[in-house]
Chain A
Amino acid sequence: MTLLTAVIVLFVALGVFFTLVAAVGVLRLPDVYTRSHAATKADTLGAGFTIVAVGIYFGTTGEILRTILLLVFIYITNPTAAHSITRAAYSQDIEVWTTDENDTTAEHGGDSP
């Protein structure tokens, strides 16, 4: 177990952690908008860390260049996908969840018309 291996393991672990956060977020968050926050972005960092680990593991110039390109494309396509999903949802008039909704189903209720 060299230092390099330790660094690779660290990056993979961080990647796994943020991907897990994304998965938990998709399950816990209330509506399509908040869920796509989780699905596309914690994911971005998770994929980023994993790809950095891959780049370090292979270590040759060509491979590093290609992993950087991979990263670039993830960072361009990911927000674009999130945008198009939520845009579709918005144009279908899917309502935006707010904390008010939570209150009315719980004990608060009443003062909104």
Chain B
Amino acid sequence: MSPGRCGSEVPTEVGDVSDTNGVLVPVSPSPTLEETVEYAVDTVEKGDGSGAVHLVLTAPGHHVGNEGLDRDETLLSTAEKYATGAAGNGVSIRTSLLGTDEYFADPVNHFELLVDYVAEHDLDRVIIDPDYSVDATAHVLQSMETVLAESNIRYEVAPVSRSWRPTGPELIRGGVIAAMAFGFYVALGGPTYPFALWTGAVTALITAVLLRNVAFERTPHVGSALATLGRGVVFVPYLLWEIAKANVQFAYVVLHPSLPIDPCLDRVDAAVGDGLSVTAFANSITLTPGTLTVDTVGSELLVHSLAPSARKDLAEGLHERAVRILFYGREGADLPGPLARGDMEPVVQSADAVAGAGASAEAESGGEADD
């Protein structure tokens, strides 16, 4: 792309440029977003000038709660504003939000979405923001380049001026980490003299700087974080009560002479959105005796249950509802359990359990018992 080749009205060489359907810019909340978008618009204009700039934001984790969806939409429209500001005639701007109904544990999943998008729209290349990150995680440029190179997609890193100025979200994350670290230090050690407090503050600051892009999956949002914390005040006693109740049942089962257990293994697709809520869900399953999370793939959990009663709680979404109320508020409870949704399938179960499930299915719908 030499700067001398500007004559856009001349129908010039057909090479790799004329079949350009456009370029893709992965959007992320970075300080260099504006420059990257402008560079992308520039690239298209220097080509045949008729391609489109696709601004794509991968934003998984909105399975049902719509938590943070408006933030993503704001980010995307900001990027669009930058692009339309820079674009001349002929360059069209398209935006899209991908993966909103999925949960990804791995940044590579984000890149695969981008690869699919490029293939689907037959785009010419990907222009990467050097500060691109999957929301609050550390920069992942290298693994993104690997994925793109493996898929034979052309990409270039936008030549933008980079600064070491922390961005707003980084400051928020760093501040939250510093406050938590300092609070923990004071609670644990109870220092009273100034020297200990000062060194504690310095340590908290260092922790914040080091972990600002590691500790959070998404930048915490004061409003929703406070709401979750407030609901946690109800959730924790509820969970403790469930644990106590289930422990009594467990003690009964273990101490019963005939050991009445009927272990089963089920795959459950949890209707929760991000790493924190999946973790809370998986751990509350494990904490309640009778059920145990064996493995997780994204939001899919493999749950081992000791007895039919524990399995029934799981199927009816007892834990799931509690966790959904915790993270999404009261309306989060209006969802049928995993079994009723069809998000639960047995992996290993005994013949007795199959017979039991068949019988109850017959009782409910008139029978489609398949062994």
Contacts and interface: CB of A to CB of B under 8 A. Distances in A.
Interface string B258-297: 0101111100000000000000001100111110111100
Interface residues of A, number: 44
A80 B285 CA distance: 11
Interface in B112-150: none
Contact of A83 (B254, B290, B293, B306): B293
A52 B261 CA distance: 31
Contacts of A8: none
A33 B306 CA distance: 9
B236 to A, nearest CB: 9
Indicate the member of B259, B261, B293, B302 with the most A CB atoms within 10 Å.
B261
A4 to B, nearest CB: 22
A90 B302 contact: yes
A100 B292 CA distance: 20
A87 B288 CA distance: 18
Contacts of A37: 250, 289-290, 292, 304, 306
A50 interface: no
Interface in A12-54: 17-18, 21, 24-25, 28-31, 33-34, 36-38, 40-42, 44-45, 48
Contacts of A78: 286-287
B294 A86 contact: yes
A33 B286 CA distance: 12
Contact of A76 (B283, B289, B306, B352): B283
A42 B295 contact: no
A25 B259 CA distance: 10
Interface in B280-338: 282-283, 286-290, 292-295, 302, 304, 306
A103 B352 CA distance: 11
Interface in B343-371: 348-353
A79 B265 CA distance: 17
A41 B304 contact: no
Contacts of B350: 98-100
Interface in A47-82: 48, 62, 65-66, 69, 75-76, 78-80, 82
B255 A79 contact: no
A38 B254 contact: yes
Contacts of A28: 254, 259
Contacts of A80: 283
A97 B52 CA distance: 58
A66 B185 CA distance: 11
Contacts of B306: 34, 37
A112 interface: yes
Interface in B189-238: 190
Contact of B292 (A30, A62, A86): A86
Interface string B240-258: 1001100100110011000
A9 interface: no
A82 B259 CA distance: 21
A112 B350 CA distance: 11
A83 B282 contact: yes
Given A21-B250, A86-B295, A90-B302, 20 more contacts: A17-B251, A28-B259, A29-B261, A33-B263, A33-B265, A33-B294, A37-B304, A41-B288, A45-B247, A69-B188, A79-B287, A83-B283, A83-B292, A87-B294, A96-B304, A97-B263, A98-B263, A99-B262, A100-B350, A112-B351
12 contacts: A29-B259, A30-B261, A37-B290, A37-B306, A41-B243, A41-B287, A42-B247, A86-B294, A98-B263, A99-B261, A99-B262, A99-B353
